[in-house]
Amino acid sequence: MRCYCVLHHGQPLELVDRPTPQPQGTEVLLRVQAAGVCHTDLHLWEGHYDMGGGKKLTLAERGIKPPLTLSHEIVGEVVAAGPLAPADRARVGRVALVHPWIGCGQCPACLRGEENICAKPQALGVARPGGFADYVIVPHPRYLIDIDGLDVAQAAPLACAGVTTYSALKKFGDRIVSDPVVIIGAGGLGLMAIEVLKALGGRGAIVVDLDPVKRDAALAAGALQVIDAKASDAVAQIQQATGGGARAVLDLVGATPTVTLAMGCAARGGHVVICGLMGGDLTVSLPVIPMRPLTLQGSYVGTLAELEELVALVKRTGMRAIPVTRRPMEQANAALQDLHHGRVVGRTVLVP
Ligand SMILES: [Zn+2]
Ligand SMILES: [Zn+2]
């Protein structure tokens, strides 16, 4: 089978011909029908995260080394199953979205159903081969979710952009109904967050981004208002738009300037959730945390149960898909480069 692999960090993906794997035990083999391109793929391709203060966390320190087959946003068709895979869930011809955020299955987090925060993650497209290939192995069919006729390229981003924003928005509780959510970053995740927020019956989104093209995309997706992150009075504009300060801020960028903006525009009692991994660091005056009082929370992708809830929500509400650009798998490199240079509106999804 063909795989588009990282053989050396920062170098173009290379086409590698490998034997098609045979599913063992409970595993299922899927023929890839759609594979989304995410910012995390860029970090994996570059080989490090920016931890701030000049420090970098290399993937090698996390036990992740080339060769890597990227993409964790996968829809595929079951073509074979191991002898221990439950036959009804692993039937050949089933087309399903894959939950990629797989853990060790044995630690306390995994036993709570929070495989996404397992200390020994086995995520597809990260620790295990992902979707930039003709075929992918999934360890158990319980990670497959029926998409029942949803378009495969539109369903694929639900596995990361979708569940990441769904899980983050859930952390705000009822605030999403009573108050607008300030969303920082109008890339694929930002547009997805606008759609998920609408499907959940939220009050609406005030979207902040540097790029006028992305702000226009946010307005087209139904944002209540958009604000230029570069404006010298961006904090004041957000405070005015939220009637005195934001009670819910979702930072999908996660860089020093965006988290600073998020904390600056938050109301007393405000709740800031950070999902983005652009990196950097922040010095915070500690009395600010109790005196304002602020909640600063991280959110990392989502659980299998949350992805199942999200797919059910999409089916129930007909939630609109984010703009998706389909490109042939052979253009994996160009698609990654376009994302790297900020040229992608919505999501790029590779198809066979
Ligand atoms: Zn675990
Ligand atoms: Zn992702």
Q: pLDDT digits over 32-70, tens only?
A: 999 999 999 999 999 988 888 888 888 888 888 899 999
- Which pair of tokens denotes residue 122? 């086995």
Closest-lying ligand to the alpha carbon of 276? 2
Query: Domain 164-298 belongs to what topology?
Result: Rossmann fold (3.40.50)
CA atoms of 112 and 106, how far apart (whole Å):
10
The structural domains of the chain, with segments of one domain joined by +, span 2-160+302-351, 164-298
CA atoms of 66 and 341, how far apart (whole Å):
23
**Count of beta carbons in the 10 Å neighbourhood of residue 125:** 28
Closest-lying ligand to the alpha carbon of 115? 1
Closest-lying ligand to the alpha carbon of 41? 2
> Residue 47: which of 100, 126, 101 has the closest Cα?
126
Ligand 2: centre distance to CA 173 (Å): 23
Q: What angle do CA 58, 72, 132 make, to 5 degrees?
A: 95
Ligand 1: centre distance to CA 114 (Å): 8
> Residue 43: which of 18, 6, 91 has the closest Cα?
6
Ligand 2: centre distance to CA 18 (Å): 25
- Bridge-partner residues for 2, per DSSP? 17
Closest-lying ligand to the alpha carbon of 111? 1
Ligand 2: centre distance to CA 36 (Å): 8
CA atoms of 272 and 151, how far apart (whole Å):
33
Regarding beta strands 225-228 and 205-209, do their DSSP bridges make them parallel or antiparallel, or are they unpaired? Answer: parallel
Closest-lying ligand to the alpha carbon of 126? 2
* Length of the chain, in residues: 352
Closest-lying ligand to the alpha carbon of 301? 2
Closest-lying ligand to the alpha carbon of 160? 2
Ligand 2: centre distance to CA 202 (Å): 24
pLDDT given for residue 51 in this prediction: 85
pLDDT < 70: residue spans in the chain:
none
Q: Report whether 176 contacts 197 (CB < 8 A).
A: yes
- Find where tokens 């979708």 sit: 162
Alpha-carbon distance values, 202 to 15, 178, 221 (Å)? 44, 8, 14
Ligand 1: centre distance to CA 319 (Å): 32
Q: Report whether 165 contacts 192 (CB < 8 A).
A: yes
Pick among 3.90.180.10, 3.30.2130.10, 3.30.470.20, 3.40.50.150: CATH of 2-160+302-351: 3.90.180.10
Closest-lying ligand to the alpha carbon of 119? 1
State the burial class of residue 294 (Cβ atoms within 10 Å of its Cβ: 0-12, 13-18, 19+): buried
Ligand 1: centre distance to CA 122 (Å): 9
Query: Which residues, 6+ apart, have CB-to-CB distance to 124 below 8 Å?
Result: 72, 74, 98, 100, 102, 130, 131, 136, 138
Ligand 1: centre distance to CA 13 (Å): 30
Ligand 1: centre distance to CA 143 (Å): 15
Query: Which residues, 6+ apart, have CB-to-CB distance to 182 below 8 Å?
Result: 205, 206, 207, 208, 238, 241, 242, 246, 248, 249, 250, 262, 265
Q: pLDDT digits over 155-182, tens only?
A: 999 999 999 999 999 999 999 999 999 9
Ligand 1: centre distance to CA 300 (Å): 15
pLDDT given for residue 49 in this prediction: 83
Closest-lying ligand to the alpha carbon of 252? 2
67 preceded by cis ω (within 30°)? Answer: yes
